[in-house]
């Protein structure tokens, strides 16, 4: 595969050397990189020899002196610099299997590529990882690696992943631990499958990989309305959520007394379903599982409070609507109230959007589609703008999961949409500016 350069970072070494988008990287120090791992490893040297093929076919050999680990500033058309590897499992909880037909093709791709764990934070089952892949991670000292455990019971794991090799998880994780590779873990909990006694067993077993395994999250399985013909999973109840939290809190207390870390963390959804208050900020150990929905609500609250402490407040006038999932709506209303205490002329409405596209059991904002926004908000909006989180959109593009664009939704709703980036400071800015 040719490594075609898609962009050059402004002010970078590559720009100074007049490398351009469309050029092809052929080799570094005489070696053609197999993938992004090879490329980054080769970039660690202070003196490198780079061979570039220009768009007119001319080849440039460039001798470069730079700082150790300093990058040239190249971006590639293929982020992995190699073919993506698809997942061979048939997990009973797989969200992709629950997607309706007719969506864009890329949404149906099941990835379980170890390289994506480092580039994008993806969680891996390790079942699609060869011995050579494992050795490359150890050789390059790549950390952290994110692992989808689900259960430590070998037989149950084989059944949950529908992969006869899934029970070999312990050998691979032990190999990573012995090599000093930092790991994070995830347990997708399925009612009546890997909860209760099985969850107890999993947490107990996973503590054996401390401290290299630095955190493990427990999150509820996401169930859409498109499950016909799939494993009969049921949603968790309030009683179930309370039981999960009792287990997690009991283990947190035990592990903290021994290791000084809480280690096992429950996703925000458990607390909301159980009707229990969220843990204090220091319980999250630095928010290691933030992208897994662990501590997102607490962190946003702390950041909003901190941001507003720096604001003096004034009489500016704003009229905005915030569209979000049912899960976050009560918390965003409280944040809006805090903003209005300092800015009494700022009018904020928070509208929870029901997920009719995937099913109303899906309550997170990140899975709201453009058509649900249009259907539920059309004719009911007023004010200057509509705020939505960036998590509703395809990464880096103004496109919703159902392929509607931000522009499509703006035209349908006749209102300007403002995208809110992650962070409480961005949330406050978008509301008051």
Domain ranges of the chain: 3-76, 96-292, 300-432
Same fold, 3-76 and 300-432: no
Separation of alpha carbons 112 and 86, rounded Å? 6
Has residue 62 got a pLDDT over 70? yes
Residue 316 binned pLDDT confidence (cut-offs 50, 70, 90) = very high
* Residue 91, pLDDT score: 93
Beta-bridged to residue 186, according to DSSP, are 148, 217
At 102, the pLDDT band (50, 70, 90 cuts) reads confident
Residue 378's contacts (CB-CB under 8 Å, 6 or more residues apart) are: 412, 413
Q: Which of 257, 256, 160 is nearest to 265 (CA)?
A: 256
What is the pLDDT averaged over residues 4-18?
94
Does CATH number 3.40.470 belong to domain 300-432? Answer: no
Distance CA 331, CA 336 (A): 9
pLDDT above 60: residue 113:
no
**What is residue 235's DSSP assignment?**
P
pLDDT band at 44 (very low <50, low <70, confident <90, very high): confident
Quote the pLDDT of residue 37.
79
- Res 256: pLDDT: 97
Percentage of the chain beyond pLDDT 90 is 76
Rounded mean pLDDT, 158-181? 95
d(C-alpha 282, C-alpha 267), whole Å: 15
Q: Which CATH superfamily is domain 3-76 in?
A: PDZ domain (2.30.42.10)
- For the record, the structure tokens of 258 come out as 């021994």
How high is the pLDDT of residue 304?
97
CATH class for the domain made up of 96-292: alpha beta
Task: Name the average pLDDT for the chain.
Answer: 92
């Amino acid at each position: 595969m040719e490594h075609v350069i898609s962009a050059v970072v402004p002010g970078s070494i590559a720009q100074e050397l007049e490398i351009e988008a469309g050029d092809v990287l052929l080799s570094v120090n005489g070696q053609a990189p197999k993938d992004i791992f090879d490329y980054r490893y080769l970039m660690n040297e202070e003196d490198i020899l780079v061979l570039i093929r220009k768009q007119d076919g001319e080849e440039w050999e460039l001798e470069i002196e730079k700082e150790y680990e300093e990058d040239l500033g190249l971006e590639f058309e293929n982020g992995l610099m190699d073919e993506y590897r698809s997942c061979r499992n048939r997990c009973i909880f797989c969200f992709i299997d629950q997607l309706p037909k007719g969506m864009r093709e890329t949404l149906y791709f099941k990835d379980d590529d170890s390289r994506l764990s480092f580039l994008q934070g993806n969680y891996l089952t390790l079942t699609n990882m060869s011995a050579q892949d494992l050795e490359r991670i150890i050789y390059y000292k790549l950390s952290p690696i994110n692992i989808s455990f689900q259960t430590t019971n070998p037989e149950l794991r084989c059944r949950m992943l529908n992969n006869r090799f899934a029970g070999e998880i312990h050998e691979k994780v032990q190999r990573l631990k012995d090599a000093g590779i930092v790991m994070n873990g995830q347990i997708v909990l399925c009612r009546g499958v890997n909860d209760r006694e099985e969850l107890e067993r999993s947490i107990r077993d996973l503590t054996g990989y401390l401290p290299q395994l630095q955190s493990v999250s427990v999150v509820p399985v996401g169930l859409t309305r498109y499950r016909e013909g799939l494993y009969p999973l049921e949603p968790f109840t309030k009683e179930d959520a309370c039981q999960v939290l009792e287990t997690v809190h009991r283990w947190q207390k035990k592990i903290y007394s021994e290791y000084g870390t809480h280690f096992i963390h429950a996703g925000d959804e458990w607390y909301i379903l159980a009707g229990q208050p969220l843990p204090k900020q220091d319980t999250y150990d630095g928010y290691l599982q933030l992208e897994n929905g662990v501590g997102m609500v607490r962190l946003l609250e702390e950041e909003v409070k901190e941001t507003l402490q720096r604001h003096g407040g004034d009489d500016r006038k704003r009229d905005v609507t915030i569209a979000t999932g049912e899960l976050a709506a009560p918390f965003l209303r409280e944040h809006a109230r805090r903003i209005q205490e300092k800015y009494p002329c700022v009018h904020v409405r928070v509208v929870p959007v029901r997920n009719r596209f995937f099913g109303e059991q899906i309550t997170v904002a990140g899975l709201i589609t453009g058509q649900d926004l249009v259907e539920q908000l059309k004719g009911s909006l007023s004010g200057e703008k509509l705020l939505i989180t960036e998590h509703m959109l395809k990464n880096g593009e103004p496109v919703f999961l159902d392929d509607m664009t931000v522009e499509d939704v703006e035209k349908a709703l006749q209102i300007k949409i403002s995208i809110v980036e992650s962070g409480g400071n961005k949330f406050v800015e978008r509301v008051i500016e």
